[in-house]
Structures are given as C-alpha cells and as structure tokens.
Amino acid sequence: MVQATAARTDALIEEVDRYSAHNYHPLPVVLDRGEGIWVWDVEGNRYMDMLAAYSALNQGHRHPRILAAAEEQMGKLTLTSRAFHNDQMGAFVRELCAATGFEKALPMNTGAEAVETAIKMVRKWGYERRSVAPDAAEIIVCRNNFHGRTTTIVGFSSEPQYREGFGPFAPGFVEVAYGDAEAFERAITPNTVGFLVEPLQGEGGVVVPPEGYLARTRALCTEHGIAFMADEIQTGLGRTGRLFACDWEDVRPDVLIVGKALGGGVYPVSAAIADAEFMDVFRPGDHGSTFGGNPLGAAVAREALQVILDEDLVRKSDELGSWFMDELRGIGSPHVEEVRGRGLMIGVVIKESSGTARPYCEALQSRGILAKETHGQVIRFAPPLVIQREDIEFALGHVRDVLTA
C-alpha cells in the first residue's frame, strides 16, 4: 500500500489550484519521476502507470532511445519555423508515409491541430474536387465523439459540458449514432464531403463499434465519394493490438490522423496523413504551424515510431490485451457491468448501482496503481505497451481486490 506524507503533496496541489484554471480533476498524486511503466511521487511512493498519458506513452516513460534522439537533436537545432527547411522533417514524413502506406503527411503538434488540419483539407477537397457549393460542405461525425478541445471541435460534440458557454459554433457538421452504419447512410447528402470517426471511442468510454461497422461505412464513403477520416490519435500506433485500429477491419481511410504516441512521451507531435489527391489542395498560406515539423519534434517522432516497430509493441499489445481482458472478466465482480476494449485499451464499466468509477480509481491509487475514470462509469486501463505479463499479474491482484471489495 502507498504510504504518503501528505504535506508536500498538498502544498503542490494547492499551488496549482491557486495559480491555474480548474479544468481538470486529477487524482491527488504529484509525480516527479518516471521510467518505463513506473512513476514516483514527491513522497517517494512508486506507482504502476496504467493510463500512459492517455496513450501518449506507448513506449513507456523516458524511453532511452527516444531520449537519446531528443538530446542529440537539442545539441544541434530545435526550431526553424516553416519559413526555412530543416534536415529532419523530410526524413520524418517519408518514414511516416512508409509506415502508414500514404503518399504525404503534414506534421502538426497537438491532436486537435491535426483534426483541424484534416477538417480544412477535406472541406477544401470537397469544394475543389467534388464541386460542392461554397460554404455548403458537411462532415458527418458520431455521437459520443472526442476529437479535441478547439471551438470548432467542441461545437460538434454531443457532450453538453464540452459545449456549454463556448458558442457560437461553426456549422457544417452532422451528428449520427456511433456504430450505426444505417444512420450514417441516411445522413449522407450531396454536400457530404467527409466522415470523421474514431475507430474505437476512447474518451467516450472505450466503446468498440459493432463488427463490420468500419468496413461498411468505408464502403459507403467510397460509393458516395466521401472522405473517410480516421481519428487514430489515441487508438493508433499499436494501442489496440494493431498498428491502427482501422486495421481490425482492413479499412484504409482517406485521411489518417495521428498524435499522442508519435511524440514518444517526450515532445508533442501530430500529423494528418493522406494521399496527394487530398494533401495537394493546400497551397502556401492556406495552413500552417510555427512549430509543426520542427527538427526536434521530427527527430523525436522518427525514433518514437521506430521503437514501436523494432520492439514489436503492436503484437505485445494484442496478446497481452486479450489476456488482460479475459482475466478482468474472470474476476466476476458484482460491481462490473462489462469489460470491453481492444489490445491494451480496456474499459471496465462500473454498474450505476455501484456508484461511479472515481472511488475505484482512488482505491487503486492507494495500492500503487494509477488508472483514471472516463465518462463517469468507466475505469480505463491503458498501460505503456512495454509492460510485461508479470507486471499485469501484479496489478491484477490489486484490481481484483478493489473490484470485489
């Protein structure tokens, strides 16, 4: 059990509360060190990280190869802006395209920036290549989505809290039920240019769509000339037991959106990836980012991507994730409604009659396991993909105790 000396922890939390906005509700732990799957708080307590910074740490904390790439690049050049070329961006986008099977990639920084990039790209593609009337383009989105926090993105969220007080919102988005291909088909109009979808909804509660949903909506997009836009910011790069979650149904999107683990837990890197048909609608001045494609981010992302491939983390995620979910289901807790997920992206749904997921996460924290609730009722387990089976076995003992208490 964790033995915390609360004075320093309380002081540090109070400092954040005093000088920052209260826009998060973190667990009451203050971390100051990490390595692999482990983190330590300021009191010296060790915890197993079962969240991996919302899948941004697929390679684990402070992976030595990624740190070495960052340190080497910091010794040479960190930022040029896109006013000039640098010697890392070209290799980065080439390697990213080779790994994903697309022709071009546009680097950004955060996931939300990459989503905004995809939206702008697909809208302009609709006007130029589909001859949609000016300002009439529509993008179909899914209920319960989470694509970021910009005003454009929260404008098409179905979560009231994400929208309240932040309008007016951009038009041009049509919401349909997630996992319902027929609802998607009914929403298609001559102005539909894109379908923006998470192949597995993470923030929405680790929701896995029905089998065949991705393939069917992909076919409908092809039939109607609609861009299939896959937001793989959280699900991509091995998290679900495939390099990308769309691979579970052999679906190739028109636009692939990546981020989080692309930065290896060291530096924010994201990208919108597509073939030239889409990417070439951008001309100088249409879109940009001062930090997008910077040499430090590019060097970090190149190594982060290579670590996932070299260390076979996709296979590990698939094998360990399947076993972990089976073990969780085998606990037979009276408080658990279901266990769902793919790979090492797992949601344990707490019955409403047993309260919310928050107290269970707090109980796990007291035992040295860091997980976080999402959507009120779901405990999300998403450890770094470098985790070993014996580590999960250790965690399972505590999870079993908490879920059956």
d(CA 81, CA 259): 19
CA angle 97, 142, 288 (to 5 degrees): 40
- CA dist., res. 307 & res. 333, Å (int): 37
Which residue type is seen at 164? E
Inter-residue contact 79 to 399 (CB < 8 Å): no
Of 260, 291, 316, 391, which residue is the catalytic one?
260
- The phi, psi pair for 210, rounded to 5°, reads -60, 150
* Residue 146 annotated among the catalytic residues of the structure: yes
324 is catalytic: no
Nearest Cα to Cα of residue 384 among 152, 155, 54: 54
C-alpha distance across the termini of the chain, in Å: 16
Instruction: Tell me the H-state helices in 231-334.
Output: 276-279, 295-310, 313-330
Residue 231 is a catalytic residue: yes
- Please identify which residue in the block is written with the tokens 């408080």: 335
Burial per residue of 167-190, b for 16 or more beta-carbon CB atoms within 10 angstroms, e otherwise: eeeeebbbbbebbbbeebeebbee
Pairing of strands 345-350, 378-381: antiparallel
Establish how many alpha carbons lie within 13 A of residue 267's alpha carbon, considering only the half-sphere containing its beta carbon.
Answer: 28
| Catalytic, out of 231, 244, 254, 324 | 231
Q: In angstroms, rounded to a whole number, what is the distance separating the alpha carbons of residues 173 and 331?
A: 42
Catalytic residue among 102, 146, 244, 282: 146
Distance in angstroms (rounded) separating the CA atoms of residues 227 and 197: 11
Task: Report how far apart, in Å, the C-alpha atoms of 199 and of each of 80, 178, 207 are.
Answer: 35, 10, 9
Residues near 151 by beta carbon (within 8 Å), at least 6 away in sequence: 166, 169, 170
Read off the tokens for 125: 């593609």
Per-position b or e across 344-367, b if 16+ CB within 10 A of its CB: bbbbbbbeeebeebbebbebbbeb
DSSP 222: H
**Residue 388, Cα to own-chain centre: how many angstroms?**
22
Query: Hey, which residues are catalytic here?
Result: 146, 231, 260
